[in-house]
């Protein structure tokens, strides 16, 4: 018996040693990391597990889009390889994952990573090493504000967002309230981190001298249990608010909507931030008793269920069907029930490929950033028709347009956009 | 003296390998080796507490947090030299460890474990409340950031110094007292060991070690200190490392540190399970397997081998 | 021989005894109960919070009870108790997908939980049960492994389970009490009473108590100690399954993080009540549930933000343990030299 254990111990040590040595034998890269004659390797961190796992269809859609592009020959005769890692929306896991992508997998760029706090924990590292950290799946205002101005000690020119920023969206909600419900008493539920505080700050800016109309602002933590979040909603109801603004990630937002529906006699005008306004989230909430009719939000991508006949949505359906990472047809059900994250992912993928095409025959990190900072996309088939993705030296936020939408039709219903495309920009 | 020669030889071998490694490993693997060094320091400290005085703590992540934040805040606000911040972390955590050790005296075994568990969950919450000074959820970014090689050198130098310190402490009266406490508190008291002093001291020392590890940990995380870096999983990893190490052997602590420092990173590239779930499934299974096969840790295994060799 | 049989006879007489010296504790609890009663009568909101707190607290208590069961039998804290409860809830989810009615799936899940619990004790705990630290680490490994497996098989997103009690509520004098909360308390109490009855009135229960308290003596009178320990783990898993199934509707959806916050509260409840005391675990759970709900409901966030709740809870726990180191209902271990 002891002999076997000794062998096992020796084996374990040998394995560990081999791993260490083998890792060191990785080919060193001269020239641009991640770019070879036949491939461009990019990477990103996403919450496949943990409190934000409802977003995991975003990287799936991005990978589907790259597979579609690869099937048609790729970009500059190179196939795009997207290596994604799970960070569970936890910045402590994002840092080692990003280090692995940059230092071991030698990725060309970090593309599409999700999460404000995760992004902030790695942007210093990536900017110091001049690694593009782009098309982040978060609307924090930092991504656009810190290109030319110093934030946390330095400028971050290698970082770029994509979607309309949170304060801009919140300002539109503020303007709507002041216009349609000028004497409103506003209750806010917000996540107690950079993302939630960004939104709240934007709401306050939009309200201007009317900030005192916020009668109750309740913060919650991403790790809070359902009942605790529910208690915050009850607190807001008790404060007499007749407008309820939800700045929460999906699981908390869904909980908030359900609890709101359970409170008898309380029917506030409800705003749901667009990061949690995905159709399937609303349907989940409705299935447990939330009053979803009349809830307001904003959007900037097309909807496969509300606008199925758009050429972009037909293309989206084909791509998701044929190139879903889990196999042909594996995401069809998800797509059909209206998971808008899939369209979002395709839209981001489209922007990246577009920029890559404009980065020259042999892309470098610098040329990629130049292309990304001089975009003028008017034909992205997946974003809301009529909107543009535009950047320049001065314009550091790629998307600055939103359109209001209102939910109708109950548990089987959908969003319906109304009004004009609004400017959410600076 | 005869028993000391093999020990000295093994120390020299380890030191030699550590000096050579940075030249053979890629930069990424140097950062992994640095991680092992950081865990070596923390596990060494925890071993003193758990292994030698029998007090189980699932909260040493809290001390790492205090040490880490010390480094980040001092660097951000006063541009203090990073090594000086590590000394500060050592001192501050020693004091805090003593303070925690005092009420710990009244608690035994499981109660102590659970209270330290509560400590591990609570301390990281404090920066969230005092966000102006302690950065809140956005964290604290140190002014200076360092290279992987710097962390590697610092981590293993600290490991060497603190290992020698531990060896000096434990071979004398202190070590005998610690072992007496672990084996039988009643007998220890009966033979005149001042229980409260030694138990509290053990807490202080182990906390100080964890504090230094915390400083290095924050520097390895790009100089960025944030509450979620010091989550429950970190404290659990430390405990796992100490258990896998077992008691009384340098190689044991090395094995324990390597286990928790490397395995979670390496298991993301397991084929069937995929990068997204590999870490938890493989690491969890590995922990169970190692404990089943080596309940006394690597040190126990080595002791058994030595006994066989002698027989 | 007679000393052992009389010890077992003593066990028979005492059942699950409460420390006689806990008059102070009883008075404090009585005072708290009176405070709550007065609050409920004066304010409908207070009453609603209290009811919610009791319901949630019963779930914490159920999981705490599972922890205490395991601790009494094998003297270890099972860190994986929460994740095991979560796993069994997912199993119930699968059974319901396959067409079983809620309560049929509920019963089947309890049976499966029992088997799972005993299996775990036999395969991974028994081989290392001589070493406390080894067992602790194995349960930590189980925690990580089960979490990984559930995420891998079912994914990390939300699953919808049918609600066993519907979404209606009672209206008692202006206070809205949802059927769910009443149902939670009833199911948990019923399960606890059933397990208690098993311990108190059956020969198996007697054997289990004997095996936990005096294993050597119990073995002498023919009790199969090893099997008793395994059955103890099985019963703990059953209680955990109940906790998970009752926790799910209150969290609205099923996800792998279902039991993680609850585990923390259950630990606190078990420590508060005293790790050897089943009554203590339940009372501790309800106390924590009610306190938490009232604090979140009434204390303004700028005084005690969500961030400070945990450190405060820790400080309170520590204070209580300084005064009563073995918990409110626990007994100070007298160590004979």
User: Do residue A54 and residue C157 have CB atoms under 8 angstroms apart?
Assistant: yes
The SS3 assignment for B32 reads: helix
C269-293 confidence digits (pLDDT tens): 888 888 888 888 899 899 988 988 8
User: Do residue A92 and residue B226 have CB atoms under 8 angstroms apart?
Assistant: yes
A58-68 confidence digits (pLDDT tens): 999 999 999 99
Other residues' Cβ atoms within 10 Å of the Cβ of residue A323: 21
Do A367 and A386 form a contact (C-beta atoms < 8 A)?
A: no
pLDDT at B31: 86
User: Is the confidence at residue C336, as pLDDT, over 50?
Assistant: no
Domain range enclosing C138: 59-323
Higher-scoring residue by pLDDT: C144, C73:
C144
User: Is the confidence at residue A19, as pLDDT, over 70?
Assistant: no
Segment B18-36 shows an average pLDDT of: 87
User: Do residue C124 and residue B111 have CB atoms under 8 angstroms apart?
Assistant: no
Q: What are phi and psi of A405, to 5 degrees?
A: -140, 150
Is residue C49 situated within a structural domain?
A: no
Q: How far is CA A230 from the centre of its chain?
A: 25
User: Do residue B294 and residue A48 have CB atoms under 8 angstroms apart?
Assistant: no
Nearest to B138 among A9, A21, A194 (CB): A194
pLDDT at A5: 53
pLDDT at A24: 40
Number of domains in chain C: 1
User: Is the confidence at residue C1, as pLDDT, over 50?
Assistant: no
- The answer for residues whose C-beta is within 8 angstroms of residue A196's C-beta and 6 or more apart is A190, A219, A247, A248
How far apart are alpha carbons A17 and A25 in whole angstroms? Answer: 13
Q: According to the 3-state scheme, what is the secondary structure of B113-161?
A: HHHHHHHHHHHHHHHHHCHHHHCHHHCEECCCCCCHHHHHHHHHHHHHH
- In DSSP terms, A389 is beta-bridged to A377
How many CB pairs (< 8 A) connect B and C? 138
Tokens of B88: 């500060």
User: Do residue C296 and residue A232 have CB atoms under 8 angstroms apart?
Assistant: yes
A196-239 confidence digits (pLDDT tens): 988 999 999 999 999 999 999 998 887 787 888 888 898 899 89
Q: State how far residue A59 is from chain C, nearest Cα, in angstroms.
A: 14
Is residue C33 situated within a structural domain?
A: no
pLDDT at C97: 93
Model confidence band, residue C302 (pLDDT cutoffs 50, 70, 90): low
Model confidence band, residue A3 (pLDDT cutoffs 50, 70, 90): very low
User: Do residue B223 and residue A6 have CB atoms under 8 angstroms apart?
Assistant: no
The SS3 assignment for A417 reads: strand
Is residue C173 situated within a structural domain?
A: yes
C303-317 confidence digits (pLDDT tens): 666 666 667 777 777
- Give the whole-number percent of chain B exceeding pLDDT 70: 88
User: Is the confidence at residue A53, as pLDDT, over 90?
Assistant: no
Q: State how far residue C335 is from chain A, nearest Cα, in angstroms.
A: 36
* Residue in this structure with the two tokens 């027989």, named with its chain if needed: B311
- Interface with chain A: mutation pick from C89, C144, C156, C168, highest number of A CBs within 10 Å: C156
User: Do residue A49 and residue B304 have CB atoms under 8 angstroms apart?
Assistant: no
User: Is the confidence at residue A21, as pLDDT, over 70?
Assistant: no
Helices (H), A142-249: 142-145, 166-180, 194-207, 226-238
Identify the CATH number of the domain in which residue C227 sits: 1.10.3470
pLDDT at A206: 94
Domain range enclosing B235: 4-310
Residues of B in contact with A125 (CB under 8 A): 145, 222
B50-69 confidence digits (pLDDT tens): 877 777 888 899 999 999 99
The SS3 assignment for A203 reads: helix
Nearest to A96 among B255, B265, B298 (CB): B265
User: Do residue B110 and residue C313 have CB atoms under 8 angstroms apart?
Assistant: no
Range picked from A270-279, B132-141, C321-330 for highest mean pLDDT: A270-279
Q: State how far residue A250 is from chain C, nearest Cα, in angstroms.
A: 10
Segment B197-211 shows an average pLDDT of: 89
- Interface with chain B: mutation pick from C83, C119, C311, C326, highest number of B CBs within 10 Å: C311
Segment A179-200 shows an average pLDDT of: 91
pLDDT at A68: 97
When mean pLDDT is compared across A111-125, B92-106, B274-288, the lowest value belongs to B274-288
Burial class (CB in 10 A: 0-12, 13-18, 19+), A238: middle
Helix, strand, coil share of chain C (percent; to 5): 75, 5, 25
User: Is the confidence at residue A46, as pLDDT, over 60?
Assistant: yes
pLDDT at B185: 66
Residues of B in contact with C147 (CB under 8 A): 280, 284
Tokens of A64: 């589907």
User: Do residue C136 and residue B243 have CB atoms under 8 angstroms apart?
Assistant: yes
Q: State how far residue B268 is from chain C, nearest Cα, in angstroms.
A: 12
Number of domains in chain B: 1
Segment A325-332 shows an average pLDDT of: 92
Cα of first residue to Cα of last residue in chain C, in angstroms, is 22
β-pairing verdict for A214-220 and A243-247? unpaired
- The answer for residues whose C-beta is within 8 angstroms of residue C323's C-beta and 6 or more apart is none
User: Do residue B276 and residue A49 have CB atoms under 8 angstroms apart?
Assistant: yes
Q: State how far residue B191 is from chain C, nearest Cα, in angstroms.
A: 14
Residue of A nearest to B229 (CA): A92
User: Is the confidence at residue A69, as pLDDT, over 90?
Assistant: yes
pLDDT at C9: 52
- In DSSP terms, A298 is beta-bridged to A404
Q: State how far residue B108 is from chain C, nearest Cα, in angstroms.
A: 8
Q: Is the pTM of this model over 0.90?
A: no
User: Is the confidence at residue C4, as pLDDT, over 70?
Assistant: no
Is residue C89 situated within a structural domain?
A: yes
Element (H, E) at A247: strand A243-247
A116-144 confidence digits (pLDDT tens): 878 988 998 899 999 999 999 999 989 99
Higher-scoring residue by pLDDT: A317, C212:
A317
pLDDT at B181: 67
pLDDT at B103: 79
Residue of C nearest to B292 (CA): C128
C155-190 confidence digits (pLDDT tens): 888 888 988 887 777 887 777 788 889 999 999 999
User: Do residue B125 and residue C308 have CB atoms under 8 angstroms apart?
Assistant: yes
Other residues' Cβ atoms within 10 Å of the Cβ of residue C170: 12
Model confidence band, residue B191 (pLDDT cutoffs 50, 70, 90): low
Mean pLDDT rounded to a whole number for chain A: 89
pLDDT at C60: 94
pLDDT at B214: 95
- The answer for residues whose C-beta is within 8 angstroms of residue B106's C-beta and 6 or more apart is C321, C322, C325
Higher-scoring residue by pLDDT: A383, C295:
A383
Residues of B in contact with C75 (CB under 8 A): 110
Helices (H), chain B: 4-24, 27-47, 53, 60-78, 82-104, 109-122, 126-129, 131-134, 148-171, 173-183, 185-190, 195-220, 232-245, 250-266, 278-293, 297-310
Would an 8 Å CB–CB cutoff place B24 in contact with chain A? yes
- Give the whole-number percent of chain A exceeding pLDDT 70: 93
- Interface with chain B: mutation pick from A23, A101, A194, highest number of B CBs within 10 Å: A23
User: Do residue C157 and residue A227 have CB atoms under 8 angstroms apart?
Assistant: no
> For residues B139, B140, B141 and B142, what is the CA-based torsion angle, rounded to 10 degrees?
-160
Subunit partners of chain C (3 or more CB pairs within 8 A): A, B
Q: State how far residue B104 is from chain C, nearest Cα, in angstroms.
A: 9
Complex ipTM value: 0.84
Segment B109-119 shows an average pLDDT of: 79
C14-68 confidence digits (pLDDT tens): 544 445 556 777 788 888 888 888 888 888 888 888 998 999 999 999 999 999 9
When mean pLDDT is compared across B169-178, B218-227, C237-246, the lowest value belongs to B169-178
pLDDT at C310: 67
Higher-scoring residue by pLDDT: C188, B191:
C188
Nearest to A92 among B143, B148, B228 (CB): B228
Model confidence band, residue A1 (pLDDT cutoffs 50, 70, 90): very low
Subunit partners of chain B (3 or more CB pairs within 8 A): A, C
Mean pLDDT rounded to a whole number for chain C: 83
pLDDT at A365: 96
Interface of C with A (CB under 8 A): 45, 49, 52, 56, 151, 155-158, 160, 163, 167, 176, 178, 250-253, 255-257, 260-262, 292-293, 296-297, 301, 305-307
Dump the DSSP string for A267-299: --EEEE-GGG--HHHHHHHHHTT---TT-EEEE
Model confidence band, residue A26 (pLDDT cutoffs 50, 70, 90): very low
Is residue C290 situated within a structural domain?
A: yes
pLDDT at A312: 95
Is residue C331 situated within a structural domain?
A: no
B228-281 confidence digits (pLDDT tens): 788 888 888 998 999 899 876 778 899 999 999 888 877 766 666 665 667 788
How far apart are alpha carbons B146 and C309 in whole angstroms? Answer: 36
Tokens of C336: 């004979």
- The answer for residues whose C-beta is within 8 angstroms of residue A354's C-beta and 6 or more apart is A375, A377, A380
Model confidence band, residue A282 (pLDDT cutoffs 50, 70, 90): very high
Give the dihedral sign, CA C121/C123/C129/C135: negative
Identify the CATH number of the domain in which residue B86 sits: 1.10.3470
How far apart are alpha carbons A347 and A387 in whole angstroms? Answer: 12
């Amino acid at each position: 018996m002891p002999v076997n254990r000794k062998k096992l111990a020796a084996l374990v040590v040998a394995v560990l040693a081999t791993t260490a040595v083998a890792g060191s034998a990785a080919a060193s890269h001269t020239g641009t990391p991640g770019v070879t004659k036949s491939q461009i390797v990019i990477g990103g961190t996403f919450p496949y597990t943990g409190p934000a796992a409802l977003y995991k269809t975003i990287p799936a859609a991005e990978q589907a889009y790259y597979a579609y592009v690869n099937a048609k020959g790729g970009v500059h005769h190179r196939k795009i390889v997207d290596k994604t890692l799970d960070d569970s929306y936890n910045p402590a896991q994002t840092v080692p994952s990003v280090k692995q992508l940059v230092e071991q997998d030698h990725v060309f760029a970090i593309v599409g990573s999700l999460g404000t706090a995760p992004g902030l924990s790695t942007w210093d590292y990536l900017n110091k090493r001049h690694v593009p950290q782009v098309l982040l799946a978060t609307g924090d205002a930092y991504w656009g504000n810190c290109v030319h101005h110093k934030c946390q000690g330095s400028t971050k020119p290698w970082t770029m967002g994509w979607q309309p920023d949170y304060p801009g969206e919140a300002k539109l909600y503020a303007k709507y309230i002041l216009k349609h419900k000028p004497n409103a008493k506003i209750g806010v539920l917000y996540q107690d981190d950079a993302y939630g505080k960004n939104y709240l700050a934007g709401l306050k800016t939009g309200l201007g001298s009317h900030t005192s109309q916020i009668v109750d602002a309740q913060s919650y933590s991403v790790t809070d249990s359902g009942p605790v979040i529910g208690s915050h909603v009850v607190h807001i109801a008790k404060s007499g608010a007749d407008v309820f603004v939800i700045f929460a990630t999906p699981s908390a937002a869904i909980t908030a909507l359900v609890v709101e529906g359970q409170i008898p006699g309380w029917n506030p005008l409800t705003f749901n931030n667009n990061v949690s306004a995905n159709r399937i989230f609303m349907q989940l909430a409705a299935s447990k008793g939330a009053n979803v009719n009349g809830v307001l939000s904003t959007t900037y991508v097309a909807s496969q269920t509300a606008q199925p006949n758009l050429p972009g949505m037909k293309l989206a359906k084909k791509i998701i069907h044929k190139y879903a990472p889990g196999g042909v047809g594996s995401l069809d059900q998800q797509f059909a029930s209206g998971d808008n994250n899939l369209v979002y992912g395709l839209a981001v993928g489209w922007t990246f490929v577009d920029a890559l095409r404009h980065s020259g025959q042999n892309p470098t990190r610098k040329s990629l950033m130049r292309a990304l900072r001089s975009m003028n996309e008017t034909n992205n088939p997946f974003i809301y028709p009529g909107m543009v993705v535009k950047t320049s030296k001065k314009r550091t936020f790629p998307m600055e347009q939103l359109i209001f939408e209102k939910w109708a039709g109950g548990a089987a219903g959908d969003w319906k956009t109304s009004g004009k495309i609004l400017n959410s920009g600076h | 003296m005869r028993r000391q020669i093999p020990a000295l030889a093994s120390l020299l071998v380890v030191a030699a390998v550590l000096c050579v490694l940075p030249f053979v490993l890629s930069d990424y693997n140097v950062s992994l080796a640095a991680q092992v060094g950081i865990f070596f320091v923390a596990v060494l400290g925890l071993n003193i507490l758990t292994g030698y005085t029998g007090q189980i703590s699932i909260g040493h992540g809290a001390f790492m947090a205090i040490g880490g934040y010390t480094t980040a805040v001092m660097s951000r606000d006063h541009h203090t030299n990073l090594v000086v911040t590590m000394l500060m972390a050592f001192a501050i955590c020693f004091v805090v460890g003593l303070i925690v050790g005092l009420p710990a005296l009244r608690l035994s075994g499981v109660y102590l474990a659970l209270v330290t568990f509560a400590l591990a969950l609570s301390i990281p919450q404090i920066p969230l409340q005092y966000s102006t000074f302690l950065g809140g959820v956005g964290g604290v970014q140190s002014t200076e950031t360092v290279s992987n090689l710097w962390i590697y050198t610092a981590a293993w130098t600290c490991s060497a110094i603190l290992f020698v310190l531990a060896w000096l402490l434990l071979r004398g009266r202190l070590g005998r007292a610690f072992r007496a406490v672990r084996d039988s508190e009643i007998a220890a008291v009966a033979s005149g060991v001042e229980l409260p002093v030694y138990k509290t001291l053990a807490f202080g020392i182990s906390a100080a070690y964890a504090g230094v590890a915390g400083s290095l940990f924050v520097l390895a995380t790009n100089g960025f200190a944030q509450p979620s870096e010091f989550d429950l999983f970190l404290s659990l990893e430390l405990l796992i490392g100490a258990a896998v190490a077992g008691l009384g052997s340098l190689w044991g602590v090395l094995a324990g540190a390597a286990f928790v420092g490397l395995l979670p990173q390496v298991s993301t590239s397991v084929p069937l399970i995929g990068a997204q779930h590999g870490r938890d499934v493989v690491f969890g299974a590995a922990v169970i397997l190692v404990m089943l096969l080596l309940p006394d840790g690597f040190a126990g295994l080595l002791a058994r081998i030595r006994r066989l060799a002698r027989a | 021989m007679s000393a052992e049989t009389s010890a077992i006879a003593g066990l028979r007489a005492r059942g699950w005894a409460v420390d006689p010296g806990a008059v102070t504790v009883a008075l404090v609890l009585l005072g708290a109960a009176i405070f709550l009663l007065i609050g409920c009568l004066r304010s409908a909101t207070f009453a609603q919070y209290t009811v919610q707190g009791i319901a949630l607290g019963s779930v914490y208590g159920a999981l705490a009870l599972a922890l205490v069961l395991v601790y009494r039998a094998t003297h270890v804290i099972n860190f994986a108790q929460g994740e095991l409860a979560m796993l069994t809830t997912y199993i119930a989810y699968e059974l319901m997908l396959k067409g079983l009615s809620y309560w049929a799936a509920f019963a089947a899940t309890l049976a499966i939980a029992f088997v799972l619990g005993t299996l775990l004790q036999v395969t991974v705990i028994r081989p290392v049960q001589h070493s406390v630290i080894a067992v602790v680490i194995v349960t930590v490994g189980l925690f990580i492994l089960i979490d990984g497996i559930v995420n891998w098989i079912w994914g990390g997103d939300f699953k919808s389970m049918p609600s066993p009690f519907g979404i209606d509520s009672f209206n008692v004098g202006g206070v809205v009490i949802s059927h769910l909360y009443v149902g939670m308390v009833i199911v948990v109490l019923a399960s606890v009473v059933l397990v208690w009855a098993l311990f108190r009135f059956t020969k198996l229960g007697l054997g289990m108590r004997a095996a936990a308290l005096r294993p050597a003596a119990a073995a002498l009178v023919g009790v199969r100690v090893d099997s008793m320990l395994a059955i103890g783990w099985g019963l703990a898993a059953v209680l955990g399954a109940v906790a998970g199934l009752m926790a799910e509707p209150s969290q609205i959806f099923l996800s792998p993080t279902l039991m993680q916050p609850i585990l923390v509260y259950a630990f606190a409840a078990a420590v508060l009540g005293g790790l050897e005391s089943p009554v203590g675990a339940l009372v501790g759970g309800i106390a924590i549930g009610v306190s938490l709900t009232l604090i979140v409901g009434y204390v303004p966030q700028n005084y005690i933000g969500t961030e400070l709740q945990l450190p405060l809870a820790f400080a309170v726990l520590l204070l209580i343990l300084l005064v009563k180191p073995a918990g409110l209902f626990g007994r100070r271990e007298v160590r004979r030299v």
